[in-house]
Structure 1
Amino acid sequence: MLPIAPEGRLYLALLAVLVAVAHLFLGVWALPTWLLLLGGFFIFRNWGRETPSRPLAVVSPLDARVMAVDECHDPFLERPALCVTLRQSWRGEFNMYSPVECRVQQFFRRKTDTAVDASGYLAVWLKTDEAEDVVVAMQCRSWPHVFHCMAGAGDRLGQSRRCGFLGFARWAQVYLPPTARAEVRPGQRISAATDVIATLVHKKQDADA
């Protein structure tokens, strides 16, 4: 099967039909329609990320550049948090991956002044097996707004598992427990499901250390 995200297969099929019809009626003048089809393949490509599970690690949910790493207030769970702000890369895939092994708790949609630009955000609340809370918030105001999550509340996700499609060039914020240890710095380019952005640190681990 072609390495295409499920969200894009219908669009690409329609584009292929458009290209065929254009060639039927326009001949060589329809060659520019191939650019649309190639662009569709670029946007919806899904080569897959085979990465080993890393206990207590939080991997990047998308191909991105790190814009900020700081302590903040999580407006979704109303708690202190370590926040990693990401800007989705135009050159990377537009797929979204689960940053931790977890169970989906709830989806939120709201405006928040603590987010990147006070825009509307769609967030998903995840809970790890160690009962740690992780929130991934995606900015969804600017056009074109495309977001699809394959998981629902109560579903279990493996770490680094593809769980949706996010486009295009979005801002995202990952809210982590304040005890988490950041593993990235602003300006760094990171790959989804591969690069670790933080490590969850439990109080028991601190005491043992």
Structure 2
Amino acid sequence: MNNTYPHPILAREGWPFIALALVISVLLSWFLPWFSFIGWVLFVFVVQFFRDPARPVPQQANAVISPADGRIVVVEETDDPYLNRRALKISVFMNVFNVHSNKSPLDAEIIDRWYNPGAFVNAALDKASTENERNALHLRTANGQDITCVQVAGLVARRILCYVEKGAKLHRGQRYGFIRFGSRVDLYLPLSAKPKVAVGDKVTGVATILAELAD
């Protein structure tokens, strides 16, 4: 486990929201005690949404690890709209009860980055990949394999946060972004990659291996 993990337990993106929920809960308890239950339920929900625990990182060299918690909604061969190629697409859908911190799926250099404004349809739907607000990273491994990693906003998600730029190098499991309140992450892998998950599987960010790249 990375002992220098920078944001243990609660994500920094959530601190203002947690503080606001706490203030609301305290005020309700003081002035409207019969409504205080609602405030504390809100507070607990906000705290759990912004949790960001450190986890052991699989060190298998060819492993592609899950960039987020959630449920697998797509495992298929399709077109990679960013690199104009056929690719193996694996999509992880995050509901509001999943950890929304996004981690690098492997060791790689960022070759390019694209941001596209868009709509906010249900992130579990296939059309979210092309219609919703999204931020894509073109990643390249040391042996020249290309992966596209795309943060996609959801129905209630209203902000994609990405903290890395073109030219940066990422380590597997390294935290690079966050999506607020429901979303998905799409991975486009070389067709030679072998999927290790199926549609419907629940996955844990960093800990779950989604696929293995060919040597």
8 Å CA contact retained: 1:119, 1:141: no
The aligned runs of 1:48-59 (5 Å cut-off) are 48-59=54-65
What is aligned with 2:159?
146
* Equivalent position amino acid for 2:131 in 1: S
Gap change, CA 1:16 and 1:70, over 3 Å in 2: same
Once superposed, which parts of structure 1, at least 4 consecutive aligned residues long, lie more than 6 Å away?
none
1:40 corresponds to 2:46: yes
Deviation at 1:85, TM superposition (A): 2.3
What is aligned with 1:129?
142
8 Å CA contact retained: 1:119, 1:140: no
Deviation at 1:126, TM superposition (A): 1.5
Gap change, CA 1:89 and 1:14, over 3 Å in 2: closer
TM-score computed with the length of structure 2 as normaliser? 0.81
What is aligned with 2:4?
none
Deviations 1:64-103 (A, max 9, x none): 2222222111110111211112222444312211101112
What is aligned with 1:198?
211
What is aligned with 1:98?
104
Distance 2:131 2:214 in 1: 31
Give the one of 53, 61, 66 matched to 2:67.
Answer: 61
Distance 1:160 1:97 in 2: 5
What is the percentage of aligned positions where both structures have the same residue? 25
TM-score computed with the length of structure 1 as normaliser? 0.83
1:116 corresponds to 2:156: no
8 Å CA contact retained: 2:49, 2:97: no
The structure whose Rg is larger is 1
1:155 corresponds to 2:161: no
What is aligned with 1:77?
83
Gap change, CA 1:52 and 1:183, over 3 Å in 2: closer
Point out the more displaced range, 171-180 or 191-200.
171-180
The unaligned stretches of length 5 or more in structure 2 are 1-6, 119-124
Point out the more displaced range, 127-136 or 166-175.
166-175
